[in-house]
Structure 1
Amino acid sequence: MVAFIVRRMWQALLVIIVMSMLVFYGVFVIGNPIDVLISPDATQEIRQQIITQYGLDLPIWQQYLHFMNALIHGDLGRSFVYNMPVVELIASRFPATMELATMAILLASAIGIPLGIYAGYRPNGWPSKAIMAASILGFSVPTFWIGLMMIMVFAVELGVLPAGGRGEAVSIFGIPWSFPTATGLQHLILPAANLSLFKMSMMIRLAASGTREIMLTDTIKFARAAGIDEFTILRRHVLRLISIPLVTVFGLELGSTIAFAVVTETIFSWPGLGKLIIDSITSLDRPVMIAYLMMVSLLFITINLAVDLAYAVLDPRMRQGDGK
């Protein structure tokens, strides 16, 4: 098990180094931030002074080495636009995005997995067919359109939920969270529901297909022959056997939800990282763009590493096979 963990961590470190190169060089070639930050009326002396101040006159390989040296020491640079450390800027926006993404994934799992297991357990019933049909809509309908319809129905027509914003937040261990307050929870419902629909559909179809396959195995036949009731079979056998793909989806979708919640955050005016990265791309705020992309890359690498370790715990054959 120790060799398995060490091997996976070395692989993760190698991927981080490669991704840092791709991110840095990719952001470098999309444009010159000086053209956006400096007025066209500025003199050549002022222009050259600012270029030198930010180190943009250095060769790209030298800029990358300076970036990696600063990254090792926990410094992601200073925002060109906000004139503050990028770490502080991202840290101020990250709790809102993390709260929204976590609520969306928990909502998708809490609803999608039971519905998927039921649809796979009784595949010929009309409720199961309705569940599977609804899951297709979750894949097909664009997220932004569903979000706009939610605002129109629940905020404009019915007036029961707010259309945007984060609402009142309380500080827990120095981090602002909105879900503990009544107004914050009301503001969280619509964006979390909108963000969870695609994930919920995926959970439904994955759980349904896994349940249908497992219900035909000898394990279930022997369990029934032993007189075990159906609920216990579903809880102890079916749920455990489909847990590996569900763990994979839960981990990867949590990362993708955090990384790509831009549309939902924009529609519902949610003050998270999505709006920040859009503004940074518009203004070519290079340090913020690099830091955000590196954070997303590190997030996915960490989640994949955690999923691999979870695999090894759930299925000992994997770590044994890896050792061989």
Structure 2
Amino acid sequence: MLGFLLQRLASAAVVLAAMSLIVFAGVYAIGNPIDVLINPAADQVMRAETIARYGLDRPFWEQYLRFARALLSGDFGTSFVFNTPALPLILSKLPATLELALAAMLIAILFGIPLGMAAGLKPEAPASKAIMAGSILGFSLPTFWVGLMLILLFSVELGWLPSGGRGDTVTLLGIEWSFLTADGLSHLLLPALNLALFKLSLIIRLTRAGMREAMLADYVRFARAKGLSRARVVGVHAFRNILIPIVTVLGLEFGSVVAFAVVTETIFSWPGMGKLLIDSILTLDRPVMVAYLMLVVAMFVLINLLVDIAYAALDPRVRLGGRA
């Protein structure tokens, strides 16, 4: 197991190094922030001083080396717009995004796995066909359109839920949380549901496919031949084996939920990292954009590492393969 972990950590370090160059090059190619930061009426002396202050007059390779050295020390630069360190600025928005992502994944898991198992156990039943038809809608409908329809139905027409914002929060362990208050929970429900719809459909189809395959496997037939109840065969033998691909996908999808919650946060005015990223792109705030993207890359690498560990714990063949 130790060799397996060392191999994954080495791979993670290589990925982070490569992505730092790709991220910096991509952000470097997006416009000139000086055109946004400096008043067009400023003279050439003020313009030159500002460019030199931010190091934007240096060649690309020198700017990247300075960025890489600062990155190793945990310094992601200072925001051009807010004039504060970029990483603490992003981390101050991270709890809101994480809360939204966790709520969305919780909805997807709690409803997706049981519905997928039901559809897999009786694939020809009318209820199973209805579940699969609903999952196709979840894949097909655009997130922004679903969000607008949710606001129109539950906020405008019915008046049951608020249309945006985070609502009242409670500070726990130094972090503000919305789900601990009734008002915050009502503000959280619609954006979480909107963000969960695609993941819910994905989990339903993945669970259904895994359950249908597992129920035809030899070990399930042997379990039935031993006289085990259907509930034990499904809940213990079949369910444990379909968890392996589900855990893998859930890990990757959680990272994508955090990274790509931009549309949902914008529609529902949720004060998370996605909204900050949009504002930073509009003002060409390079340090914030780079810090956000590097944080997302690091998060994906960490999630993949945790998924690999969980995968190895569920399937010993993975550990044996890494050792070989």
The 5 Å alignment of 1:167-246 reads: 167-246=167-246
Q: Which residue number corresponds to residue 303 of structure 1?
A: 303
- Which amino acid counterpart does residue 2 of structure 2 have in structure 1? V
Q: How do residues 26-37 of structure 1 correspond to structure 2 at under 5 angstroms?
A: 26-37=26-37
Matched with 1:3 is 3
Matched, 1:270 2:270: yes
| Letter paired with 1:288 | V
Amino acid at match of 1:98: L
Moved over 4 A (4+): none
Report the counterpart of residue 282 of structure 1 in structure 2. Answer: 282
Distance 2:152 2:26 in 1: 39
For the residues of structure 1 that align with 2:151 and 2:42, how far apart are their CA atoms?
A: 45
Provide the secondary structure at the position in 2 that maps to 1:242: helix
- How far residue 322 of structure 1 moved from its aligned partner, in angstroms, is 2.1
Residue 108 in 1 paired to residue 108 in 2?
yes
Amino acid across the alignment from 1:311: Y
The one-letter amino acid paired with 1:198 is F
> Aligned letter for 1:302?
L
Task: Give, in angstroms, the shift of residue 249 of structure 1.
Answer: 1.2
Query: 40-49 or 196-205: which moved more?
Result: 40-49
CA–CA distance in structure 1, aligned partners of residues 181 and 112 of structure 2: 26
Partner of residue 261, structure 1: 261
Measured after TM superposition, the shift of residue 192 of structure 1 is: 0.3
Question: Residue type matched to 1:133 in 2?
Answer: A
Measured in 2, the distance between the counterparts of 1:49 and 1:177 equals 43
Comparing 63-72 with 100-109, greater Cα deviation is found at 63-72
SS of the equivalent of 2:176 reads: strand
2:322 paired residue number? 322
For residues 185 and 239 of structure 1, the distance between their equivalents in structure 2, rounded to whole angstroms, comes to 31
Structural RMSD (CA)? 0.8
**Partner in structure 1 of residue 62 of structure 2:** 62
Per-residue CA distance 1:133-164 (angstroms, 9 max, x = gap)? 10000000111111111111111111111011
The Cα of 1:61 is off from its aligned counterpart by 1.2
Aligned AA for 1:23?
V
Q: Residues of 2 paired with 1:51 and 1:306: CA distance?
A: 42
SS of the aligned residue for 2:58 comes to: coil
Distance 1:60 1:136 in 2: 46
Q: Please give the per-residue CA displacement for 1:77-97, whole angstroms capped at 9, x wherever unaligned.
A: 111011111122101111100
For residue 43 of structure 1, what is the aligned residue in structure 2?
43
Q: Which amino acid aligns with 1:244?
A: I
Using the TM superposition, give the Cα deviation of residue 110 of structure 1 relative to its aligned residue in structure 2, in angstroms: 0.7
- Structure-1 separation of matches of 2:159 and 2:66: 52
Measured after TM superposition, the shift of residue 126 of structure 1 is: 0.6
Report the identity percentage. Answer: 59
Aligned to 1:291: 291
Q: Which runs of 5+ in 1 are unaligned?
A: none
| CA–CA separation in structure 2 for the residues paired with 1:215 and 1:320 | 26
Residue 143 of structure 1 corresponds to 143
Q: Secondary structure at the match of 2:203?
A: helix
Supply the distance in 2 between the matched residues of 1:158 and 1:28 (Cα, whole angstroms).
Answer: 47
CA displacement, residues 37-89 of structure 1 (integer Å, 9 cap, x when unaligned): 11111111111111111111112111111111111111111110111111221
Matched residue, 2:86: 86
User: Deviations along 1:1-26, whole A, 9 cap, x unmatched?
Assistant: 11111011001100000000000011
SS of 2:179's equivalent in the other structure is coil
AA aligned opposite 1:191: P
CA–CA separation in structure 1 for the residues paired with 2:321 and 2:76 = 39
> Which blocks of at least 5 consecutive residues in structure 2 are unaligned?
none
The number of residue pairs the alignment matches comes to: 324
TM-score computed with the length of structure 2 as normaliser: 0.99
Deviations 1:92-131 (A, max 9, x none): 1111000000110111011001100110011111111100
Question: Which residue matches 2:166?
Answer: 166
Q: Distance in 1 between matches of 2:218 and 2:25?
A: 54
| Matches of 2:41 and 2:149, distance apart in 1 | 46
- Larger mean Cα displacement after TM superposition, 302-311 or 112-121: 302-311
